[in-house]
Structure 1
Amino acid sequence: MRFFSTLALVASASAAATGLTSRGSDNDHGKKCLKQKDVDYLVNAYKSIINKWEAPKADFIADQGFFDYSDSINTIAGLPTGFPIFPNKEAFVAYQTATPDNLPLVIVEVGPWNCNQITVIWTATFTKVDGAVPLPVRGIAIIEGSYNKSQKDWEIQSLKVELNSMNFYRNTGGVCYRPEAPTVEVPEVTTV
């Protein structure tokens, strides 16, 4: 728990240093900032998208500028790291429609958050392999929100997700073997 308290302090200091406003207030430039109800809305939207995809849930995602970044998922998919796995809304929706994640995502902790970003820690214990033992997967997501003035509601602008990729890979049918422990030669100790 000390780690999360420290993380919250660092995030608060970082937000203050970058000019981000405190929780629930709008900044001096008229930009709408998240309030607690907005955080709850976006976190529930994220969880809903991952738990059970349905076409209307595409409305939770911003039409312009959306991306989903995850080196963990890129690694599992056998793709190079360092770029979004889904560079836009269309790619994300197409993937979810064809092969939805439908993971039993459980939100463990929400926070810290600032004017437009929310940190979420989650777990999911699942398997997509008949007869396999489900392994727990733990991850962290940063949900960036943007306020859509025409809809008068918040949308998911971007997702940045990292997770226990080895368990995720095994839960989806991948096979991993532990490397053998290295043998270390211990020098003889002589006493004088």
Structure 2
Amino acid sequence: MRFLSVLSLAAGVSAAATSLATRGNNKCMKEADVNYLVDAYKSILTQWEAPKADFIADQGFFDYSDSINTVAGLQTGFPIFPNKAAFVGYQTVTPDNLPLVIVEVGPWSCDQITIIWSATFTKVPGGSPLPVRGITVLGGSYKKDEKKWEIQSIKVEFNSINYYKNTGGVCSRPAPA
């Protein structure tokens, strides 16, 4: 009986995967596509150059991060970059250029990839670099006419206190209660 339950579960997962494959762009990522988008994401954040804007989807792109909103002193609960133009404009004027290290990739689905990353840096002259660790979920979309995958969405959260300190912010421990 337990074997039949496992088979039933596997059939349900297979049907869900097939359903995902037939929605939207009718294409699911393979490992090479995942690697391509992860490499694109890393290159955007480590060494921004204008041609890298081609990795970002023109329509429907957004970057959501309460961590970034908090560090920027903005209200949380909304995309920090609601479209490609806002994201590219920021990167062009103030590129992150972080020493991003991809720690782990996966799991991934038809059109989303989970990435764990780290970056140890400081943008403070003479400052001590602190490690920042984060998780990103990349949404991908397949551009049929160009036969390539693009980054459709970025959802990222990270150790915002260390990031804040690495960029010159001051944060002290609360007094004991």
Question: How far has the Cα of 1:21 moved from its partner?
Answer: 4.5
- State the match for 2:4 in structure 1: none
Q: Deviations over 1:145-188 (max 9, x none)?
A: 00001110000000000000000000000000000121xxxxxx
Distance 1:21 1:166, change over 3 A: farther
Note if contact 1:66-1:156 (Cα within 8 Å) is conserved in structure 2: yes
Q: Which amino acid aligns with 1:129?
A: V
Pairs aligned (count)? 166
What stretches of structure 1 of length at least 5 have no aligned partner?
1-12, 183-192
- State the match for 1:134 in structure 2: 129
2:142 to 117, 142, 147: 147
1:44 equivalent to 2:39? Answer yes
Question: How far has the Cα of 1:103 moved from its partner?
Answer: 0.1
Which structure has the larger Rg over C-alpha atoms?
1
- State the match for 1:19 in structure 2: 16
**What CA distance in whole angstroms lies between the structure 2 residues aligned with 1:80 and 1:16?**
38
1:63 equivalent to 2:65? Answer no
Note if contact 1:116-1:146 (Cα within 8 Å) is conserved in structure 2: yes
**What CA distance in whole angstroms lies between the structure 1 residues aligned with 2:77 and 2:43?**
27
Note if contact 1:76-1:169 (Cα within 8 Å) is conserved in structure 2: yes
1:83 equivalent to 2:69? Answer no
Three-state SS of the structure 2 residue aligned to 1:92 is helix
**What CA distance in whole angstroms lies between the structure 1 residues aligned with 2:109 and 2:83?**
24
In proportion to residue count, which structure has more helix?
2
Identity across matched positions, percent: 70
1:104 to 96, 99, 102: 99
**What CA distance in whole angstroms lies between the structure 2 residues aligned with 1:125 and 1:178?**
21
Three-state SS of the structure 2 residue aligned to 1:27 is helix
Three-state SS of the structure 2 residue aligned to 1:87 is coil
**What CA distance in whole angstroms lies between the structure 2 residues aligned with 1:28 and 1:160?**
24
**What CA distance in whole angstroms lies between the structure 1 residues aligned with 2:22 and 2:89?**
38
Distance 1:130 1:64, change over 3 A: same
Three-state SS of the structure 2 residue aligned to 1:19 is helix
**What CA distance in whole angstroms lies between the structure 1 residues aligned with 2:158 and 2:62?**
17
For the aligned residue pairs, the C-alpha RMSD in angstroms reads 2.0
**What CA distance in whole angstroms lies between the structure 2 residues aligned with 1:152 and 1:171?**
39
